[in-house]
Structure 1
Amino acid sequence: MVHAVRTTDPAAGGFVTYLQSLRRGMTDDDIELCWEGVFPRNANWRVLALLRPLRFLRRVRRQLETADLLHVHGVFGWHVLLSLLAARSLGRPHVVSVHGHLHPDALRERRLSKRICLAWFGRRALRRAEAVLVTAPPEREIVRRYAPQAHIVEVMPGLEVPPVPESGAVTRAGEAPGPIHVLYLGRLHPHKGLHRLIRALGEARAEGLDAELIVAGTGSRSYRLALWLLVRGLGLRQQVRFLGHVGAGVRARLWRRADVFALPSRSENFGFAAAEAMAAGVPVIVSENVGLASLVAGRGCGEVVPPENTEALRRALLAYADPSVRREQGRRAHEAAVEAFSLQTMGAAHGALYRRVAGTARGMASVRDRAPDRV
């Protein structure tokens, strides 16, 4: 199975985490996964780097010559267009994981180029796919708007969930009081709402909440500067720390230290970072448009707030002033993660899909080989 992605850089966010989880969850020795990315880093200049797409096309075609099918991640970009061209030329079937690309909020960014991509090859990629993978019911409905006849498969991503919660929200119960550690982990982009979280932190502190915010992730230089100026203007330079992109070891330490995790995005098809927080036993604050919002609300393991609402974020932060609330919601978050985020279930669902698609393709090829030539 060849997986085509824009980049394999972990800083790119959720789809790389998705692939890492899939590789760990795929226990079927008969299925071999390989990745091909166009760009080595999640760089903004990638569209202009024309040599890399050409090299990607040669690599992915070489991989597909001995593969059974192509799995495309996303709807836009060089990797979608070129990998589909290679698969079509070799007669290989493909499946698509949408990863939130079709959400109305995501389509507002680089609107013209995305419309061109949809008209040129995006809709065709969805319509011709043997399956379109989504992570939540709202994304299923969005896909229906662009490909009404698509065969849509809903698969909950998996994670490695520790046997017991490890977060500060649970383990620091009974310790001497100190500042509440609020964690944001992800890409720095206006879409994620981090600027509103910073404003909400300032307002909550003005009401007496002793809290600090740790920001792990990177993004465009202009937005990083805007965030830094906002922190400085609000007088929060001692309460907000920017760590940049962090590796797996630092990430694990951050989960153990965190009391609350916040993801106030305008939209997320799933919300991998929020799922990781739950696995560690960290209560979460998410917007209503995050794919995990219904799970968070149903299991009582966090606060669900309207998107783009600083006041709601302020109230959510104040709700965690009580350590017993953090402890109880952290425990519930871990229990929900144990039940919902199974690597084995994720791997088995993908394995079954790959076998079905590959088997159908082989059967059709066999029929074509046996068919008599027409006179």
Structure 2
Amino acid sequence: MKLLRVISTIDPKGGGPMEGARRIDTELIRLGHSTEVVTLDSPSDNFIQNYPAAVHALGPSKGGYRYNGELVNWLKRNVGNYDAVIVNGLWQYHSFAVWRALAGVRTPYFVFAHGMLDPWFKRRYPLKHLKKWLYWPWAEYRVLRDARASIFTCEEERRQARNSFWLYRTKEEVTAYGTSSPPANSGEMALNFFDKFPKLKGKRLVLFLSRIHEKKGCDLLVNAFAEVSTNHEDAHLVIAGPDQDGLAAVLKDKARQLGIQDRISWLGMLQGDEKWAAFYAADVFCLPSHQENFGIVVAEALACGKPVLISNKVNIWREIEADGAGFVDDDTLAGTVRNLRRWLALDPAAHIKMSKQARMCFTERFHIRKAAERLLEIIQDNSYKY
């Protein structure tokens, strides 16, 4: 098939949806299919050239909504060249533009919500939710209603999506999601990491690798680490990820107040081999999010055989718990403390066993090939019925 992906941005700093699109498109091409991407990024953005498929960058675009007057016309001119259109994300102009452009057209479109219908946002940002309600009936509701299917990356996300807006109608499908196998030279990559960060050698590394954002529970992790690390002098917290809102400065100040500033390393955004090296060097991965649609970084940690400590607001928590691939608790300070303490209490044999379970969990559930094959199945099953 020849597929078109429509996504607001493919900037890696945007997090999971962008990384997921990149991984799945790479796998789709391996499977013999053709994918192209239309995005509202500027053609001059340096990350455009690094995408694995052909990119049509129509930006720059306006404001947080990323309005772009060219998108609808581009889609109308070109949509006949594709067998199906995949929309990544809601609440920005690209999804509404697809609905406008494809009305009455035979080419089907499919929507990945990427957790953007999770009721956590309604509770956390009630004023923003009210604004979305004003927008919902004439835009995103129609986008989902007229899609051949709305695709959710796990069963928990599908269930949660029904609770944000009472006006809700769409054909629901669930697909696997995940990441590709990491580089195999784990020992060499870990050594490279310690060569670059020698003060971390010999430590028990707790890794947080994600956007530094309030919904990720970074503050919980800093406070919880301060509470548990007093009895574990070899424990060290590594925080890696882009800081788009200035939260890192607040957290660093909190670490100083707690007296643990020397026990936290801030590495910034890691990509490519540097990212995989951090996973291999770590002993455990921690993500105490308040809301996480899927968590590709969780799948990446599992792929490297690392146990994961996550909250029960990471939507794949049931799978992690069922496979014994880590520990799950509430997205609170107490829950984060309990997760860290349970991991720190493991003896070496139990830790090795959990690491094996983590790798098995990735292989059985979250390898990107399964995600690509399931996506193709959904498109084929829903494309030729009308």
Shared fold (TM-score greater than 0.5)?
yes
361, 370, 379: which one aligns with 1:336: 361
1:185 matches 2:209: yes
1:310 matches 2:333: yes
Using a 3 Å threshold, how does the CA distance of structure 1 residues 121 and 64 change in structure 2: closer, same or farther?
A: same
2:236 alignment counterpart: 212
Instruction: Report 1:1-375 matches (<5 A).
Output: 1-26=3-28, 27-29=30-32, 31-39=33-41, 48=63, 53-88=68-103, 90-107=105-122, 108-109=124-125, 110-145=128-163, 146=165, 149-161=169-181, 166=186, 178-307=202-331, 309-321=332-344, 322-360=347-385, 364=386
Q: Give, as a single letter, the amino acid of the residue that structure 1 aligns with 2:156.
A: P
Q: Distance in 1 between matches of 2:68 and 2:211?
A: 24
Post-superposition CA distance 1:205-255 (Å, at most 9, x none): 123353111111113333222122212222222211222222111101101
Q: Distance in 2 between matches of 1:50 and 1:339?
A: 38
Using a 3 Å threshold, how does the CA distance of structure 1 residues 98 and 49 change in structure 2: closer, same or farther?
A: closer
Post-superposition CA distance 1:162-186 (Å, at most 9, x none): 5979489x99xxxxx9321011111
TM-score, normalised relative to structure 2: 0.82
Quick one: percent identity of the two aligned structures? 24
Measure how far apart 1:150 and its partner are. Answer: 2.2
**Contact 1:192–1:266 (CA under 8 A) maintained in structure 2:** yes
Q: Bigger shift: 87-96 or 245-254?
A: 87-96
Structure 1: gaps of 5 or more residues: 172-176, 365-375
In structure 2, the residue corresponding to 1:54 is in which secondary structure? Answer: coil
Measure how far apart 1:286 and its partner are. Answer: 0.5
Post-superposition CA distance 1:41-68 (Å, at most 9, x none): 79xx975278862244444444424223
Query: Which has the bigger relative contact order, CA under 8 A and spacing at least 6?
Result: 1
**Contact 2:141–2:168 (CA under 8 A) maintained in structure 1:** no
Measure how far apart 1:134 and its partner are. Answer: 0.7
Measure how far apart 1:193 and its partner are. Answer: 0.3
**Contact 2:242–2:268 (CA under 8 A) maintained in structure 1:** yes
Number of aligned residue pairs: give it.
351
Structure 2: gaps of 5 or more residues: 48-59, 192-200
**Contact 2:225–2:337 (CA under 8 A) maintained in structure 1:** yes
Measure how far apart 1:157 and its partner are. Answer: 0.8
| Higher gyration radius (CA) | 1
RMSD after superposition: 2.8
Q: Give, as a single letter, the amino acid of the residue that structure 1 aligns with 2:148.
A: E
Q: Bigger shift: 14-23 or 83-92?
A: 83-92
